[in-house]
Amino acid sequence: GWAHDVEVLYRARLLGYIIEDLPITWKSMEGSKINVLRDSLKMFIEILRISLIMHVSHLFVDPFRSESRKNDSLFRGIFSMLSIVLLLTMAYLSFDYGITGDDMDQKVYGEHVLDFYTTLGKDTSCLHLKIGNKENLHLYGGLFPMLSAALNRYVGGIDEYDMRHLLNAVAGASAIVFTGLLTYAISGSWLAACLSLLILSLWPQFFGHSMNNPKDIPFALGYVMTIYYLTQWIKQLPKPDNRIWIKMTLAIAFTINIRVGGLILMGMMISFYLGSLILSGKIRTAVTSSKQMSGHIKKILIVSVVAYFLGLLFWPYGLLGPLSNPFTALKESTNFSMPIGLFFEGKMMTSKDIPWYYVPKWLWITTPVITLMSSMLFGALWFLMRKQIPVERTLLLAFSALFPWAYAVYSHSAMYDAMRQMLFLVPLLAVMASLSWYYLISRFSNQIVRYALVGMLFICLIPPARFSLANHPNQYVYFNEISGGIDKAWLQYDTDYYMNSIKQTATWFKQSDMFKTAGPTNKIRLATNTLDPINHYFKNDTAKVKVIYTKWYSPGNEKSRANRDWDYGIYNYRKFA
């Protein structure tokens, strides 16, 4: 057709060929029958068709042809297949998950954010919301809540919270896929990418949160996506193409639209650039010899400015005060003014009282042991990897994983609910673990030894996989063997702090004999400390149930469970609930 030359160039790019631009002599011939508008449109349509066909073929067909099976492209096909299966599986399973402590607040906030945009800014109620004791919802980006609200309002067809969880699952699956892509960008191996996909999918804490955590999972997606594009960017130095600059800009903007902490990615961009110049003599020589540094600095500034303002596009509070409000929100998120109760190492404390090792301790006790040890092994192997994987990539990966936590400790940031606020670091640890296994596997040429190592990894991943299957949909309460498992950890740490299991409890209660025999004349008085989820689960059963809010324990308080009259109680296990 009209795009045969474009097709040749595109195939060359997919196969990794370096394409050089050469000058030509252009001569205009009179009597041409080409119509610029008509034939350009034909070529554009042809390019779209070819691009779609070649993408599908490159990912799902070519890797399984006989000439490709003996090299790494086979794992490209496996990675593509696993990604699709993962997305469909997580989307299907998302309907099993319960309403969390943030779901209702974010749902209401998203509806008001949507009203702000559909009224062209006339409805500013999203800036003044107070739901329960929460008055800071406007400090969070509005992109994910607004998307959820828009799907419910204009698409619908399913329960409003199921719609939210479906979108959440798409974000979680995308974060896992980008983790695999990041692994490939660092190592150049699709085998390593498949390993990271497997390791993160079988990390119960991350998998469980992926279904119904509307704040931290979308932020994790934005973070790992940006680190992936930053890695691609430094690989293209000294002459990154314009597309990677655009992708970096959009990724940073997406993350800011989720949470103001995305501003840290601008610093990451600068750190990646300076770090690559310091750590790689090859990159440093190429940049200085081509005199590209000043151009890079200008583009970094442009990306920062454009990403900053695009990051406010779906955040009403930031949009209405672009030069001040984001920094107010950043200050508040760093030093959360409202203390949150938590249970840590057998002690009750608040989010302002946590020790410096709060996040490392949670990683120590909730990361599958094989993943934990593999990511720690990465610290010992990175120097040995330098002949196989450029050292600047491994060190910048480590920096991306360690710096946010170090800064949080330095600034005494308030954290709670295990390590929810630092969940975005988990994908990077999965990359480290997969790189360790990839290095060990690639060190041996003997196929039997390679298969044995892969088999060993699979065997070591059986315990977290078995826990996830046995405890679905409560995977995120997983504790590893180091902690003694959940049987011992529940006496020392918060478990179902996000209220996920309340849905299962409510379903069980509806199937019980006591519920079936209830009616308007003998209503069940159901006490709970999780009012919003319970009200939603029993919204169609008001003829049988009267929901009563009580605290689990509050001496002298009239709303304590000891001071209210109730028949049955559904309570969330949390020490301060």
Mind listing the pLDDT tens digit of every residue in the chain (577 residues)? Answer: 778 888 898 888 877 788 888 999 988 777 777 778 888 888 899 989 988 988 888 888 888 886 655 677 889 999 999 999 999 999 999 999 999 988 999 999 999 999 999 999 999 999 999 887 788 899 999 999 999 999 999 999 999 999 999 999 999 999 999 999 999 999 999 999 999 999 999 999 999 999 999 999 999 999 999 999 999 999 999 999 999 999 999 999 999 999 999 999 999 999 999 999 999 999 999 998 888 899 999 999 999 999 999 999 999 999 999 999 999 998 887 776 677 888 999 998 888 889 999 999 999 999 999 999 999 999 899 888 988 899 999 999 999 999 999 999 988 888 888 889 999 999 999 999 999 999 999 998 888 999 999 999 999 999 999 999 999 999 999 999 999 999 999 889 999 999 999 999 999 999 999 899 999 999 999 999 899 999 999 999 999 999 999 888 766 676 788 888 899 999 987 654 4
User: What is the distance between the alpha carbons of residues 61 and 72, in angstroms, rounded to a whole number?
Assistant: 14
User: What is the distance between the alpha carbons of residues 170 and 86, in angstroms, rounded to a whole number?
Assistant: 10
CB 526 within 8 A of CB 544: no
pLDDT value of position 26: 83
In the chain, the amino acid numbered 137 is L
pLDDT value of position 551: 85
User: What is the distance between the alpha carbons of residues 527 and 6, in angstroms, rounded to a whole number?
Assistant: 67
> Please, what is the angle between helix 264-279 and helix 242-258, to 10°?
140
User: What is the distance between the alpha carbons of residues 19 and 9, in angstroms, rounded to a whole number?
Assistant: 8
The first and second tokens of residue 471, run together, are: 């405890």
Positive or negative, the Cα torsion across 461, 463, 464, 470? positive
The first and second tokens of residue 537, run together, are: 């689960």
pLDDT value of position 68: 55
pLDDT value of position 503: 95
Residue environment code for 319-357, b if the CB has 16+ CB neighbours within 10 A, otherwise e: beeeeebbeebbeebeebeeeeebbbeeeebebbebeee
- Which 8-state DSSP code applies to residue 158? S
Tell how strand 568-570 and strand 524-528 pair up. parallel
SS3 label, residue 526: strand
CB 534 within 8 A of CB 568: no
SS3 label, residue 549: strand
CA dihedral of 57, 58, 59, 60, whole degrees rounded to 10: 30
Find out whether the peptide bond into 218 is cis, omega within 30 degrees of 0: no
Among candidates 167, 256, 253, 251, which has minimal Cα distance to 214?
A: 167
Predicted structure pTM score = 0.92
Find out whether the peptide bond into 464 is cis, omega within 30 degrees of 0: no
Burial class (CB in 10 A: 0-12, 13-18, 19+), 130: exposed
SS3 label, residue 524: strand
Locus of tokens 């200050």: 331
Positive or negative, the Cα torsion across 116, 421, 469, 456? positive
Residue environment code for 133-152, b if the CB has 16+ CB neighbours within 10 A, otherwise e: eeebbbbbbbbbbbbbbbbb
Upper half-sphere CA count for residue 572 (Cβ side, 13 Å): 26
Among candidates 456, 452, 481, which has minimal Cα distance to 467?
A: 481
CB 524 within 8 A of CB 514: yes
CB 173 within 8 A of CB 90: yes
pLDDT value of position 575: 52
pLDDT value of position 504: 94
Classify the phi-psi angles of 521: left when phi > 0, otherwise alpha if psi is within -120 to 50, otherwise beta. alpha
What is Dmax (Cα atoms) for the chain? 96
